[in-house]
Chains A and B, each alone.
Chain A
Amino acid sequence: MEETVVAMEEMGVDVVAAERESQTIEMSAKGVSVWFGKRKILENVNMDFPKKTVTALIGPSGCGKSTFIRTLNRLHELIPGAALAGEILYEGQDIYRQDVDPVHIRLAIGMVFQKPNPFPSMTIRGNVLSGLKLSGMKRPDHDALVEQTLTSAGLWKEVKDRLNAPAGDLSGGQQQRLVIARALAVNPHVLLMDEPCSALDPASTLRIEETIRELSKDITIIIVTHNMQQAVRVSDYTAFFLAEENQPGYVVEQGLTTEIFGNPRDQRTLDYVNGRFG
């Protein structure tokens, strides 16, 4: 793992071909450009996500981070007019190949959204297990699964006595952790998080960040955040996106989080992480 990192740093972003084949890379984006209708949103993004690490995507609003993260589990294509070039590789396979069922991709690559979105018609327990019901996946021992995923999401202690209460009764922070537990219940290998804390209070944010650190022992996490401190606290790697006025977004710099924040190579990165714009 350390070697990969060193290699990435030394060779820069475009020369990661050797590592892509390596077992340590979970996902990678190769020359990804994205359109909505005629408008180009993202330009030529190349990025690797090593296994069991946290990668933070940072950058000002409108630079295409959220669009990018949605291409990683094929939610992007749900928006009318969406188009894409390049490849997203998951375990070495292009997820946009014609014969790939997006349902399988989304099962392996879970997602947590900006706004907590538990299913209002279901209980807390029902929400955790909803992924199984919705995808038709079979997993044994639901009770243990509920406890395990809620514990992983850091919610178990708070809700263990009211698993059959409606999910709508929980606070925003609890709902977001419930949604994380829901995503974990289908046993994903990658978890995408699109600004998971932007709608939450500081205390809930800290709980979620602890949860992310815990989870990264087992799965790969990719998180979009506007919060610099959060990126520093939770991530191993950071990619900085930027878009000029009416131009597609692109990656300015990527690498170890400590490098991006401590010793960035690009002046714009330095300005951004020090809060001078964006």
Chain B
Amino acid sequence: MSIETPMRDLGKGKKANAGDRIFNRTITGAAFTSLIILAGITVFLGAKAGPVLQEQGLSFLTETMWDPLGVPPEFGIAGMLYGSLLLAVIALVISVPVSLFLAVFMVFMAPPKVSKILTNLVDLMAAIPSVIIGLWAFYVLVPPAQEWQQLLNQYLGWIPLFQNESGNFTGTPFIGGVVLAIMMVPIVTSITAEVLKRTPPELVNAAESLGCSMFTMLRYVALPFGRGGIVGGVMLGLGRALGETIAVFFVLKLVFDINFYKIIESGGGSIATLIVSKFGETNGEYEVNVLLASGFFLFLMTLVVNAIANLIVARTDRLKS
């Protein structure tokens, strides 16, 4: 039709004035605060963790001891690392079904008004500080929970999981896990409800026109659609559970030996709780550094869990759009 005039690159031609340039740079700089802080945590805690690892060797991660006054002082946090994971798994097993059913009730069963009230209550539950949950758990939850554990031991004691030789049912990983589960339920529920709400109505309609029941609709439409988001939400809750300190501090008896599976036996571990409970009674700078090193590994652990969670959420978001 005509001779093509060359295409002009508007991106480079865009000439920002001086004010905008300063504005853009300031904002861009500030936007990298998160990166700077994350890098700062890695570098500073890593710098403290390095020498500790060097002196203690790999046994810092594989052994179970806390001997600050020994010559040389020896430390091993395997019990704490394992304990954090065990608590998180117990919390997961309890909170995931509860959250799923609660979310299903909110999204697919309750009348709109009830659903709205429940949404608010779940958000309120998420807003309650962990120190308050710990206080409540210490005085209100622990006494009946001891009774539950006795019952578990009495009727299901033949399962290794529910063994208890000491007869002491206080400060068990089970109670710690229950408290963490209470903290995870609102997080997982609100994310799950959010995901389920986004089930495309045309899919639900299609399923209903095919004569599906609630069960088949959940099984074949809503859950497959929301699976990624729900798993992501559970992982985010898991990250929170791993890092939770205070609520567990009140109900868990810290022991340095690894409690592998006896979840209703007194004594367990948790890195976050270890840091807080040992910090006030450290013997010298070296022990503080050991705590900082423990914090470093806790940080890495939560970072990995959260990164996986976010990847899952991001991937499913991309698949949907």
Binding site for B on A (CB under 8 A): 31, 33, 35, 43-44, 76-77, 82-86, 96, 98-103, 250
Please give me the 6 A-B residue pairs with the lowest Cβ-Cβ distance, nearest first.
A77-B10, A85-B5, A44-B2, A85-B7, A31-B5, A86-B5
Q: Contacts of A84 on B, CB cut-off 8 Å?
A: 7-8, 10
Tell me how far the C-beta of B50 lies from the nearest C-beta in chain A, rounded to whole angstroms. Answer: 44
Nearest CB on A from B227, distance (A): 32
**Contact indicator A85/B10 (Cβ below 8 Å):** no
C-alpha gap A84/B14 in the complex (Å): 13
Q: Is the CB of A96 within 8 A of B13?
A: yes
**Distance of B56 from chain A, by nearest CB (Å):** 53
What A residues does B4 contact at CB under 8 A? 33, 85
Closest to B10 in A: A77
- Report yes or no: B10 in contact with A82, Cβ–Cβ below 8 A: yes
* CA A84 to CA B7, docked complex, whole Å: 6
In the complex, A77→B17 CA distance in Å?
A: 16
B281 in the interface (beta carbon within 8 A): no
Q: Taking the complex as formed, is B201 at the interface, i.e. its CB lies under 8 A from any CB of chain A?
A: no
CB neighbours of A96 from chain B (8 A): 8, 10, 13
B144, CB-defined interface residue at 8 Å: no
**A83 & B5 in contact (Cβ 8 Å cutoff):** no
Q: A82-B10, A84-B10, A85-B7 are known; give 12 further A-B pairs, CB within 8 A.
A: A33-B5, A44-B2, A77-B11, A83-B8, A84-B7, A84-B8, A85-B8, A96-B10, A98-B13, A98-B15, A103-B17, A250-B1
B133 to chain A, nearest CB (A): 39
**Residue of A whose beta carbon sits closest to that of B6:** A85
Q: Which residues of B contact A33 (CB under 8 A)?
A: 4-5, 7
A43 in complex: contacting residue of B1, B8, B14, CB < 8 Å? B1
Question: Within the complex, what minimum Cβ distance (angstroms) separates A85 from chain B?
Answer: 4
CA distance A100 to B3 in the complex (A): 26
List, sorted by A's number, 24 A–B pairs whose CB atoms are closer than 8 Å: A31-B5, A33-B4, A33-B5, A43-B1, A43-B2, A44-B1, A44-B2, A76-B10, A77-B11, A77-B13, A82-B10, A83-B7, A83-B8, A84-B8, A85-B5, A85-B8, A86-B5, A96-B8, A96-B10, A98-B15, A99-B15, A100-B15, A101-B17, A250-B1
The proximity string for B residues 104-125 relative to A, scoring 1 for CB distances below 8 Å and 0 otherwise, is 0000000000000000000000
Q: Which residues of A contact B14 (CB under 8 A)?
A: 77, 102
Interchain CA distance A82-B13 in the complex, whole Å: 12
A267 vs chain B, min Cβ distance (A): 19
Whole-angstrom distance between the Cβ of A80 and the nearest chain B Cβ = 9
Majority SS of interface residues in chain A? Answer: strand
The reply on B9 being an interface residue by CB < 8 A is yes
Min CB distance B1 to A, Å, is: 6
User: In this complex, what residue of A is CB-closest to B11?
Assistant: A77
Q: Nearest Cβ in chain A — how far from B113, in angstroms?
A: 29
Closest to A84 in B: B8
Q: How far is the CA of A86 from the CA of B14 in the complex (A)?
A: 16
Q: Which residues of A contact B1 (CB under 8 A)?
A: 43-44, 250
Q: Which residues of B sit under 8 angstroms from A100, Cβ to Cβ?
A: 15
Specify the chain B residue showing the minimal Cβ separation from A33: B5
> In the complex, A99→B9 CA distance in Å?
14
What residues of chain B lie closer than 8 Å to A35, measured between beta carbons? 7
**B6: chain A residues within 8 A (beta carbon):** 85
From A82, A85, A101, B15 is in contact (CB under 8 Å) with: A101
Smallest beta-carbon distance A45→chain B, Å? 11
**Shortest beta-carbon distance, B292 to chain A, in Å?**
45
Least Cβ–Cβ distance between B3 and chain A, in angstroms: 8
For B20, the closest partner residue in chain A by CB is A103
Given A43-B1, A44-B2, A83-B9 contact (CB < 8 Å): yes
Residues of chain B within 8 A (CB-CB) of A86 are 5
Q: Is the beta-carbon distance between B2 and A31 smaller than 8 angstroms?
A: yes
B37 to chain A, nearest CB (A): 30
A44 to B17, alpha carbons, bound, how many Å? 30
Q: Write the chain B residue with the least CB distance to A136.
A: B19
* Residues in A neighbouring B15, C-beta threshold 8 A: 98-102
Please measure, in the bound complex, the distance between the C-alpha atom of A141 and the C-alpha atom of B252, giving whole angstroms: 72
B8 cross-chain contacts in A, Cβ below 8 A: 83-85, 96
In the complex formed, the residue of A with least CB distance to B9 is: A83
The CB with the most chain A CB atoms within 10 A, among B6, B10, B13, B15, is that of B10
Bound: A46/B8 CA distance, A:
17
Task: Please name the residue on chain B nearest to A44 by beta carbon.
Answer: B2
Give chain B interface residues in 171-188, CB to chain A under 8 Å: none
Q: List B231-263 residues whose CB lies under 8 Å from chain A.
A: none
Shortest CB–CB separation between residue A77 and chain B, in angstroms?
4
Residue in A closest to B14 when the chains form the complex, CB atoms: A77
The closest CB in chain A to the CB of B4 belongs to: A85
Residues 10-29 of chain B, each 1 if its beta carbon lies under 8 Å from chain A, else 0:
11011101000000000000
Closest B residue to A14 by beta carbon equals B2
User: With A and B bound together, what is the CA distance between A129 and B6 in angstroms?
Assistant: 40
Q: How far, in angstroms, from A102 to B13 measured CA to CA in the complex?
A: 10
Shortest Cβ gap from B19 to chain A (Å): 8
| Cα–Cα distance between A44 and B5 once the two chains are bound (Å) | 9
Q: Which of B53-98 contact A (CB under 8 A)?
A: none
Closest residue to A46 on the B side, CB-wise?
B2
